[in-house]
């Protein structure tokens, strides 16, 4: 679990470093990787086709998150079937993304998510005073990399989904572009003030990434310990339409029955914000794909925005259909996460190549960071190979 949290933020930070210095978008950067394959109008890098291949599994995985949001709402309104709540959540996400009004909700959602994170930490602490408490030997066992072989695919899916996943690594670069980092740095590399200005914005970007890493670690590890302590000890397994109901036991068994409302409301906020943020990022891919495949001029900003909003409005409904066809959040998330695990070494390998071949040498990372990025790439190649081997 710690590897899931700590071994991917380096790729997020270093790929974003290249993006803000070069001014490329994510897909434009990926299209610079050698290895051309025919496209509808022009040849494109194999990495674009691989990213496109991951789209359907990613949509299926997002359907699992939408289903979880619907189930969380049903904890608060048990008289309404969770499937209807899932469809309602999808419609709400579509409306927000189509109208571009997410920023109005962003601060409220941020406060609620922070509250849930704090509540998780408190619940994990409270668990130590119950029958589900963890011992030192329990914690030590978690560092032995020892688990039944039949859980290999699930462990790989956890690696693909937990912490900063491949979708978040790519969409983060679009947020950096939209926040204006490349514009603030400027493209005049011969300007004497350019290196200092670029390093300043890179430091801000890195601070953003590492603070996020600290927060997600503080949120993920206590939640995992609650699951290991409460659910495993009581023999409960989250699955099907009862997934979120079973997960709520982590709070009700440690904080008391009143916390069901806390868990339901906060879980909805986390899952719904993940849906809106995730599809908000995915919708940025659509016009970028059209540009790289030769169907759209990058300079036509109004048309790119129309494509972005149209996809943002449609995609949540499509993902909800996957969930309604197979209402099992864990299975849907597992499928999406396995594909995400395969995409990770592509991103880290591309980052290494782009920094070496196309980046201003003055802005490249230190030798220590470069070495750690290489270790991450090799580790992710191994993870991807195991995923492929598991299906052959």
DSSP letters of 334-383? Answer: HHHHHHHHHHHHHHHHHHHHHHHHTS-GGGSPPHHHHHHHHHHHHHHHHH
Q: Which residues pair with 36 in a beta bridge?
A: 45
Whole-number pLDDT of residue 200: 92
Cα separation, 306 vs 167, in Å, equals: 22
Cα separation, 233 vs 219, in Å, equals: 21
- Give, in degrees to the nearest 5, the angle at Cα 114 between 109 and 116: 95
Mean pLDDT in runs of 10 for the chain (392 residues)? 88 94 93 90 91 86 88 86 91 87 64 76 85 86 78 83 87 88 86 91 91 86 84 76 76 79 81 84 88 88 89 92 86 85 93 94 92 94 82 69
The residue whose two tokens read 């040498």 is 361
Inter-CA distances, 157 with 27, 138, 165, 193, Å: 24, 23, 11, 45
> Domain holding 346: CATH number?
1.10.4160
Query: What are 64's two structure tokens?
Result: 């699992």
**Is residue 66 within 8 Å of 90, Cβ to Cβ?**
yes
Total domain count for the chain? Answer: 1
The DSSP call for residue 8 is: S
Q: Which residues contact 371 (CB under 8 A, 6 or more apart)?
A: none
Q: Is the whole model's pTM more than 0.85, yes or no?
A: yes
Question: What is the residue range of 243's domain?
Answer: 2-390
Whole-number pLDDT of residue 104: 62
Query: What are 263's two structure tokens?
Result: 């868990």
Helical axes 55-76 vs 259-292, angle rounded to 10°: 160
**Is residue 315 within 8 Å of 61, Cβ to Cβ?**
no
Query: What are 176's two structure tokens?
Result: 């950096």
Whole-number pLDDT of residue 375: 94
Helix H or strand E segment including 275 = helix 259-292
């Amino acid at each position: 679990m710690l590897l899931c949290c700590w071994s991917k933020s380096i790729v997020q930070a270093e790929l974003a470093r290249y993006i803000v210095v070069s001014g490329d978008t994510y897909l434009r950067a990926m299209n610079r990787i050698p290895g051309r394959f025919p496209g509808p109008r022009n040849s494109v890098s194999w990495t674009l086709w691989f990213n496109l291949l991951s789209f359907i599994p990613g949509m299926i995985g997002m359907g699992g998150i939408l289903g979880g949001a619907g189930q969380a709402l049903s904890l608060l309104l048990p008289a309404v079937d969770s499937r209807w709540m899932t469809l309602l959540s999808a419609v709400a996400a579509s409306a927000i993304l189509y109208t571009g009004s997410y920023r109005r909700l962003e601060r409220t959602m941020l406060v609620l998510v922070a509250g849930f994170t704090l509540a998780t930490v408190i619940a994990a602490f409270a668990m130590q005073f119950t029958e589900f408490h963890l011992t030192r030997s329990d914690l030590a066992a978690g560092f032995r990399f020892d688990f039944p072989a039949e859980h290999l695919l699930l462990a790989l899916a956890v690696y693909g989904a937990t912490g900063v996943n491949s979708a978040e690594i790519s969409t983060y670069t679009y947020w950096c572009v939209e926040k204006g980092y490349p514009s603030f740095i400027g493209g005049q590399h011969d300007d004497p003030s350019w290196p200092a200005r670029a390093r300043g914005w890179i430091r801000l970007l890195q601070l953003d990434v590492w603070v996020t890493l600290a927060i997600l670690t503080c949120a993920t590890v206590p939640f995992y310990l609650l699951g290991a302590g409460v659910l495993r000890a009581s023999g409960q397994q989250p699955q099907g339409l009862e997934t979120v109901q079973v997960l709520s036991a982590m709070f009700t068994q440690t904080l008391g029955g009143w916390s069901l409302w806390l868990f339901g409301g906060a879980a909805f906020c986390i899952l719904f914000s993940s849906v809106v943020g995730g599809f908000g990022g995915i919708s940025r891919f659509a016009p970028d794909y059209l540009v790289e495949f030769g169907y759209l001029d990058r300079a036509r900003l109004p048309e790119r925005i129309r494509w972005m909003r149209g996809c943002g409005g449609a995609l949540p409904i499509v993902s909800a259909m996957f969930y309604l066809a197979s209402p099992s959040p864990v299975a849907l998330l597992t499928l999406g996460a396995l594909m995400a695990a395969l995409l990770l070494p592509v991103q880290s390998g591309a980052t290494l190549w782009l920094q070496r071949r196309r980046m201003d040498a003055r802005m490249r990372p230190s030798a220590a960071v470069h070495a750690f990025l290489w270790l991450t790439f090799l580790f992710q190649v191994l993870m991807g190979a195991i995923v492929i081997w598991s299906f052959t």
